[in-house]
Structure 1
Amino acid sequence: MQKIYLFNPDHDLALAQGGDHYVAPPHARQLQHDLAALPLWYADAGSLLVVPDVEAKSWVNDMQSRVMAILPQEIKNHATATFFPWGWNRVERKRLIRLGAQPESLPAERVLDHLRQLSHRRTTILIHHELEQRLEKKFSPVPVEVDTLQAVLDFASRHPGCYVKTPWSGSGKGVYHVVDATDPYFRNWCNGALKRQGSLLCETGLDKTADFALEFYCNGSDVDFVGYSVFSTDFHSQYNHGLVETTSNLSKLIKKQCPAIDDIKACLVEILGTIIDPGYLGHVGIDMILYRDDRGDIKLDPCVEMNLRTTMGVVSSAVGMMMGKRGQFSIAHSSTGFQDGEVANRLYLTPIFSDTKYCAYIDFNTE
């Protein structure tokens, strides 16, 4: 079975739009163009990788990796392959069919509609309740879904420093860290989000000490754990960079503060196996945080986000196992481009050309 990987980072934006006529904004198209080679670091041996142009194709093939690059117009030569985009949505299905893929080899529209509903942030509430019931343990405060501005304002007044999130968004987008609930900008943001997506998720602000994720791979209801991701985020919970390490070392790091992580991991395998659509083939990431409670004890929020797609954590985890040494994974942006030169202890994961505005790299020997 031939596998073909694609990088479509506008996946979350397409889910938020909801239909199959979405057009990505310029920055998302640039990101997709520049980081198209990223899947080569986690793709299975013998797979194909779709890249936008001949330059990128030559770069991938010159890497002498286990993956060979093809151009979008070559997809028609592999019409019955199994496709692995960064994330599945109606827009990506339509695009692949337009490029020559056989509809029968792609997930059906009903499957994609179900996956979109599962990608709604209310699924984190379900996972919270399932974990507490199965493990007979209380975790962090559970998010609350609301559908009016007044309900948001009431929550924010009771929980200073809370987070308000849109149902569909990714990588920290669509997240508002509330500092002043009376700010007109915040109210306008909420009204716009409610009009577009119908509801908002409100979460209590916690004294966070660490961000990490458990990465899984789903083949329908068969779910396998594939690695850990330890990363940092900014004030608005947007991804900054990730720690590159072996799975064994990341496990030790997490278990120091969360000894029960293996029980939680096993429980998540069971939960995901019951809720993921049988037609789904791809990654699922469960973002978690460690935080201090009022007594100063370290506690766990076991499901801050569920990403029903590939994540940057999958990339950093795969590279950590491949390289076997510690580093820091980053995505950089420059409106003026990058110098294509060597940087000490740096590995570029994507090519740099004259028109490149985004690049992915790892700095090794990072403490």
Structure 2
Amino acid sequence: MTFISIFAPDMITYTASTPRLWVFNPGHEEALSFPQHQHLTLSKEIRWMRYELAPLLRLLASGEDLIYAPASPKGAPARLLNAEGETLPKDAILPPELLVTIWGVEAHILRELKNSPLLSRTTLHLPKFTEAYLHLSHRRASAELLQYLADELGYPSGILPLWIEAAETKEETQRLLLDAISEVSQRALGSPRELIVKRPYSSSGRGVQPLPLPVQEKHLEALVGSCMRSGSLSLEPYLEVIDNWAIEYTRDESGKVRFFDLSHFDTLPSGRAYRGNTLASPMMLWEGLTRLIGEESLERLIEAHTRWLEERLRSSEYIGYIGVDLFLYREKGQLYLHPCVEINLRTTMGVLAHFAYEQYVPEGKTGIFRLERGRGSATGERVIPLLLTGEDSRFTAFVELDK
């Protein structure tokens, strides 16, 4: 793989003459676990995120594209935005057709769009929701890719998650979980103080919880209940995360998966919630990660990711972005790479950060892309707000240029 080929990916192309309808639906992974035919009530936080953060998709929109912003939890009506993030008047003439591009595909958002009065005056071309897509969105798929990387590239099998399927009774499920806790604890070096528990359809820190060791009765009871509600859980060793990265890919109409860019991001102190991204050129990001793990290792990892993703998505009609999260962790004073923490079969904040860099950061400069709760406190001439916020805003996003 040559450096030039890596940084000349084919962008996602559809029908040039058909505008897109961009739809932001965070939390879609958890919606995947909910019965498709039943009405889904999202948490209030997720509904506020959808309402307030929808204008961020102007980073992706262009031309006659539109953005769908759903109703707020307080009853503000759903609205359509233009490619600049401005609300369209109610009597605006819509394009005759719109190619719907959803942040993360799931059945409930497809039904919401089909039934939306806002969109009754246009023809929607909706993505298809397939079993292959559902399978790749399950955290078990991340474990399968990690096993493949351990077999093909020699990554340690000790970091693999152990999946526990719920039994028919609480007593049997508890026994399975206790056996799994013992097995994963023995894999860890020394005397581990905690393990990591993950629910099957969850991402971006949601559905990820620490399990303190030794296990207390109240934690075990909660773990059993969670396993029985979700049908399964994974347990994996706790690793000391030093640095968070992701590799972003695209999948086109031909089924080809191609490298798009690297994403370097940070999390809140809890380590389980996204905070923001480094804004830098693709070359600088590439050099930053290869300094840590070596260029050959990164190229081999990208090749292995793309091979596996192309094979697993062969029966899927998914077209769009795919993110594979990684991190560097410390063990016995040495840094190691975890090559697949999770697979995000959707657009990611790393993709938004890529376009925020292109649109707002001068050539040769760097910055940060931040997503924060509340109105945010960053001010100054180097701060570029990405959202209009008021006194009661629950989220803010901005670009801050480095000095």
Larger radius of gyration between Structure 1 and Structure 2: 2
1:298 aligns with 2:335: yes
Residue by residue over 1:313-361, the C-alpha shift from the partner in whole angstroms, topping out at 9 and shown as x without a partner, is 1111222233243222222212xx569x953311112221354211111
CA distance in 2, matches of 1:320, 1:222: 26
Displacement of 1:169 in angstroms is 1.2
The match for 1:349 among 376, 379, 386 is 386
| Residue-pair matches, total | 354
Partner of 2:111: 94
The match for 2:237 among 194, 204, 222 is 204
1:30 aligns with 2:48: yes
Displacement of 1:39 in angstroms is 1.3
Residue by residue over 1:20-49, the C-alpha shift from the partner in whole angstroms, topping out at 9 and shown as x without a partner, is 521212111111111011111133555322
- Aligned residue for 1:316, secondary structure, equals helix
Correspondence 1:244-323 to 2 at 5 A = 244-259=279-294, 260-276=297-313, 277-294=315-332, 296-322=333-359, 323=361
CA distance in 2, matches of 1:327, 1:2: 31
Q: State whether residues 28 and 105 of structure 2, in contact with CA within 8 Å, keep that contact through their aligned partners in structure 1.
A: yes
CA distance in 2, matches of 1:106, 1:271: 26
> What letter is aligned with 2:326?
M
Partner of 2:33: 16
Residue by residue over 1:237-287, the C-alpha shift from the partner in whole angstroms, topping out at 9 and shown as x without a partner, is 222322221111111110011111122112212211111253112211100
Structure 1 pair 18/313, CA: closer, same or farther in 2 (3 Å)? Answer: farther
Partner of 1:49: 67
1:328 aligns with 2:381: no
TM-score by length of 1: 0.85
Structure 1 pair 338/291, CA: closer, same or farther in 2 (3 Å)? Answer: closer
Structure 2, gaps ≥5 residues long: 1-17, 166-172
Structure 1, gaps ≥5 residues long: none
Partner of 1:242: 277
Displacement of 1:97 in angstroms is 0.8
- Aligned residue for 1:347, secondary structure, equals strand
1:151 aligns with 2:176: yes
User: Considering only aligned residues, what root-mean-square deviation do their CA atoms show, in Å?
Assistant: 3.1
- Aligned residue for 1:200, secondary structure, equals strand
CA distance in 2, matches of 1:236, 1:183: 23
- Aligned residue for 1:81, secondary structure, equals strand
> What letter is aligned with 2:145?
I
Q: State whether residues 356 and 369 of structure 2, in contact with CA within 8 Å, keep that contact through their aligned partners in structure 1.
A: no
Correspondence 1:222-237 to 2 at 5 A = 222-233=256-267, 234-237=269-272
Partner of 2:223: 190
Identical columns (%): 25
Moved more, 342-351 or 203-212: 342-351
Partner of 2:4: none
Q: State whether residues 367 and 400 of structure 2, in contact with CA within 8 Å, keep that contact through their aligned partners in structure 1.
A: yes
- Aligned residue for 2:139, secondary structure, equals coil
Partner of 1:177: 210
